[in-house]
């Protein structure tokens, strides 16, 4: 499904050239679809590049995604034209009364500073506090993950002697977590940071759980047990040449940077890096949000089809615990209210029985009574009435239930 972004955002042209379906604001206002609302707090200096990287990953989610870009007021961007910020970014006061399904907090090149010494730290704390009531779940990246873990759970960061830069192998500790569903047992992810958090500090907090770690690069993914906070201490959104660009930039400045590990073939910076993290990154950004609309639609119409030929009572009795379990796993394990799915199941199973002569006991009994009175009801005659009646009833219930519980 498409991502919905401002018409003139520079990322639009890049994504469309990659055959990614981008829906402009002009087109989106003509569609009656409840989009997934995502707020991106972009703290990176190269904002246009970061916008494009994250939007590329969000493009593979099953819902229409509506994106707002958030900036800090106490720190002004210097690596992007002011007109770009004025045209496409909002500040917290602009959206204080809005609610979002998710927020993404990017990294920032301030990791060597204590959190309290960052000039926009008070504003960032205000944003984190606002998000507690206005955002369902938040994904924090790299320094943003360190800042979020520190603010919400008191997790400290530690300065490294050398920069952790390169593409590192990661083990999945909890393969049953919906957040990493479909991942290989070992994945790769880019890193570029001077500081780190320690696994033992996270393990001391009962409200946190480790999802992925590396023997060489430490913690990669952690999350809160209520699935409101997801911490990724790396950069799965990075493009092929992002680490190369950082390395060559620092080399030209005479900073003698460390060679990114496991990145350039034969550690030769003149060669094109091999991408080993793209599929895992795409899966991560896709699975960070489940799709209740798709599940609800499947439940309704599959139930209609099955109930046209089998007894709906044992079918519903069998499916109720299954539906309850699926609802509990949605939203990264936080769960989704199951009432929508319960009533979707009941609507499809109950009304689907009207589709065929054998779909319900009442149909069979009524046809039997008519035959005793000399009236013959042929299957095609029943279908001629049953199909339009069933579709009209199911569609009415389908739309009504989504408006009540899903929208």
Cα 203 from Cα 125, distance rounded (Å): 24
Cα 396 from Cα 382, distance rounded (Å): 21
Cα 383 from Cα 309, distance rounded (Å): 13
Cα 271 from Cα 266, distance rounded (Å): 9
CB 202 within 8 A of CB 155: yes
- Of 118, 13, 94, 65, residue with least CA distance to 86: 94
* Alpha-carbon torsion (242, 243, 245, 249), positive or negative: positive
Question: Which tokens go with 258?
Answer: 């460390």
Active-site annotation holds for 235: yes
- Of 195, 180, 17, residue with least CA distance to 112: 195
CA distances in angstroms from 195 to 24, 41, 107, 211, listed in the order given? 39, 21, 12, 19
Active-site annotation holds for 142: yes
Active-site annotation holds for 125: no
- Give the pairing of strands 100-105 and 36-41: parallel
**CA angle, residues 241, 242, 246, in degrees to nearest 5:** 115
Active-site annotation holder among 66, 142, 152, 188: 142
Task: Convert 73-103 to b/e letters by CB count within 10 Å (16 or more is b).
Answer: eebebeebeeebbeebbeebeeeeeeebbbb
CB 149 within 8 A of CB 201: no
- Strand, coil or helix: what is 35? coil
Cα 53 from Cα 239, distance rounded (Å): 7
Cα 3 from Cα 25, distance rounded (Å): 10
Cα 382 from Cα 385, distance rounded (Å): 5
Tell me which residues are annotated as active site: 142, 235, 237
């Amino acid at each position: 499904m498409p991502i919905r972004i401002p018409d003139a955002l520079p990322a639009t042209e890049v994504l469309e050239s990659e055959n990614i379906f981008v829906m402009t604001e002009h087109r989106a206002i003509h569609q009656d679809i409840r989009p997934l609302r995502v707020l991106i707090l972009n703290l990176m200096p190269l904002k246009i590049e970061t916008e494009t990287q994250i939007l590329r990953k969000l493009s593979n989610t099953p819902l229409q995604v509506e994106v707002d870009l958030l900036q800090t007021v106490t720190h002004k961007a210097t690596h992007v034209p002011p007109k770009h910020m004025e045209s496409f970014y909002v500040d917290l006061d602009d959206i204080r009364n809005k609610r979002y399904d998710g927020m993404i907090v990017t990294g920032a090149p301030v990791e060597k500073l204590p959190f309290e010494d960052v000039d926009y730290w008070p504003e960032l704390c205000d944003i984190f506090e606002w998000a507690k009531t206005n955002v369902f779940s938040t994904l924090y990246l790299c320094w943003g993950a360190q800042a979020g873990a520190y603010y919400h759970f008191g997790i400290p960061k530690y300065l490294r002697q050398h920069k952790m830069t390169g593409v590192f192998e990661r083990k999945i500790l909890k393969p049953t977590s919906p957040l990493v569903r479909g991942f290989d047992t070992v994945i790769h992810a880019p890193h570029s940071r001077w500081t780190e958090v320690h696994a033992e500090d996270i393990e001391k907090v009962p409200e946190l759980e480790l999802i992925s770690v590396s023997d060489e690069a430490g913690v990669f993914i952690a999350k809160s047990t209520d699935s409101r906070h997801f911490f990724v201490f790396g950069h799965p959104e990075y493009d092929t040449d992002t680490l190369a660009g950082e390395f060559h930039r620092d080399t030209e400045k005479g900073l003698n940077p460390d060679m990114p590990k496991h990145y350039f073939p034969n550690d030769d910076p003149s060669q094109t890096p091999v991408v080993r993290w793209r599929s895992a990154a795409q899966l991560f950004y896709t699975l960070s949000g489940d799709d209740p609309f798709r599940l609800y639609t499947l439940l309704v119409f599959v139930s209609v089809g099955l109930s046209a030929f089998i007894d709906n009572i044992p079918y519903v009795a069998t499916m109720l615990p299954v539906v309850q379990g699926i609802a509990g796993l949605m939203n990264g394990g936080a769960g989704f209210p199951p009432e929508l799915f319960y009533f979707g199941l009941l609507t499809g199973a109950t009304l689907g029985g009207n589709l065929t002569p054998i779909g319900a006991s009442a149909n069979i009994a009524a046809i039997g009574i008519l035959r005793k009175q000399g009236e013959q009801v042929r299957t095609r005659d029943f279908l001629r009435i049953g199909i339009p009646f069933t579709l009209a009833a199911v569609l009415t219930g389908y739309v009504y239930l989504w408006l009540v519980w899903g929208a």
